[in-house]
Amino acid sequence: MIAILALDLGTSTGWALRTADGRVTSGTQSFKPGRYEGGGMRYLRFRRWLTEMKAVSDGLSAVYFEEVRRHVGVDAAHVYGGLLATLTAWCEHHQIPYSGVPVGTIKRHATGKGNADKAAVIAAMKVLGYQPVDDNEADALALLHWTMSERAHDEVGTNEATA
């Protein structure tokens, strides 16, 4: 089994981690800038946090993130873009594969509806036995479950092709 990190990027970043031994942990990490911090500190803290997650997982094999195409506000779009740039540069530096997954794909997998609301995704994750504290954590868990499902399909296909 490989270690996978799933992220819902934002000021409050939702995350879900499956370690190489199959354990799943999740949470929400705040990257809100401090009162006296410069604008770039959010991204430096995010990069440091990614490095900590890599260490906790005993080495990441892949990172997946929620690929957002539309933001309600300009500030949210700027934060997402900065976090995405930081994430992709960090992954390139550490030679860790990364991929974005469209929001609708994640919601459809979790709830059966590509335009499901936040409450539906939270409820779907609770059915799976998780207790997400907010929609950010629920989205990251839903993304992790989509990823594990897709990887299982790929592995089955690979085994069948080589058998």
SS (H, E, C) 126-157: HHCCCCCCCHHHHHHHHHHHHHHHHHHHHHHH
Please provide the average confidence, as pLDDT, over all residues in the chain: 89
Q: What is the percentage of the chain residues whose pLDDT exceeds 90?
A: 73
The CATH number of 4-162, from 3.30.420.10, 1.10.10.60, 3.30.70.270, 3.40.50.10210, is 3.30.420.10
CA-angle at 9, arms to 113 and 143, nearest 5°:
40
In this predicted structure, what is the pLDDT of residue 68? 86
The whole-number pLDDT of residue 71 equals 65
The residue that leads in pLDDT, 133 or 34, is 133
Sequence spans of domains, the chain: 4-162
Give the residue-averaged pLDDT of 7-25: 95
In this prediction, residues 128-134 reach a mean pLDDT of: 96
Give me the pLDDT at residue 75, please. 84
